[in-house]
């Protein structure tokens, strides 16, 4: 019989997609006020992997990935997703989002994103929020899965997530010295 134990804290991260750089930076400021200072902010990247957002948000979208200095309990991810949905709603113009914020976390074993859309590989958490298993850590590297979004499976992003994971592991060691 297995004995239930609390999960280790995890490394909070966000993908922030926006119609303008100013909105992107404003969203990061809001997230920093709510979740503490970032310890990593990616360069501004053009987002052209899919037309999924184009109908609602338009073309020429920009994105940044950020990870936060604090570690969180993984069970609060639904609360964070609901809060980011609220930020998105408040920034909307004519019911069209101007920003999209995808919260998630990195653990020793994987990268999880929060989503409001269920699917076969997305177990339900609570309050209408699902966990999207996006990458797994296997063989000393992050590995994409058949459903991983192309922009998360790209080598440059894999390298970035690996660096964030290394920082996370260092934080865990400092929190739990041997």
Distance of CA 98 to the CA centre of its chain: 18
Q: How many domains does the chain have?
A: 1
Dihedrals phi, psi of 112, to nearest 5 degrees = -115, 135
Domain annotation covers residue 14: yes
Q: What is the pLDDT of residues 75-114, one digit of tens each?
A: 999 999 999 999 999 999 888 899 999 999 999 999 999 9
Domain annotation covers residue 50: yes
Domain annotation covers residue 1: no
Q: What is the pLDDT of residues 5-34, one digit of tens each?
A: 999 999 999 999 999 999 999 999 999 999
The mean pLDDT value for 125-152 works out to 96
Q: How large is the angle between the packed helices 77-91 and 21-35, nearest 10 degrees?
A: 140
Q: Which domain holds residue 167?
A: 10-175
Domain annotation covers residue 4: no
Domain annotation covers residue 51: yes
Q: What is the pLDDT of residue 152?
A: 94
Domain annotation covers residue 59: yes
Question: How do strand 38-41 and strand 61-72 relate by DSSP bridges?
Answer: antiparallel
Q: What is the pLDDT of residue 133?
A: 97
């Amino acid at each position: 019989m297995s004995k239930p134990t609390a999960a280790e804290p995890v490394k909070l991260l966000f993908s922030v997609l926006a119609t303008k750089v100013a909105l992107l930076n404003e969203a990061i400021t809001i997230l920093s006020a709510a979740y503490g200072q970032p310890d990593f902010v990616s360069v501004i990247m053009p987002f052209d992997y899919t037309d999924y957002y184009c109908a609602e948000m338009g073309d020429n979208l920009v994105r940044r990935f950020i990870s936060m200095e604090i570690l969180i309990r993984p069970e609060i991810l639904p609360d964070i997703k609901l809060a980011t949905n609220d930020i998105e709603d408040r920034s909307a113009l004519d019911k069209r989002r101007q920003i999209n914020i995808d919260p998630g976390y990195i653990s020793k074993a994987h990268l999880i994103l929060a989503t409001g859309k269920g699917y076969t590989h997305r177990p339900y958490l609570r309050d209408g929020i699902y966990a999207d298993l996006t990458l797994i850590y296997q063989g000393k590297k992050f590995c994409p899965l058949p459903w991983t979004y192309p922009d998360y499976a790209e080598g440059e992003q894999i390298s970035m997530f690996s660096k964030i994971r290394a920082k996370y592991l260092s934080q865990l060691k400092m929190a739990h010295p041997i």
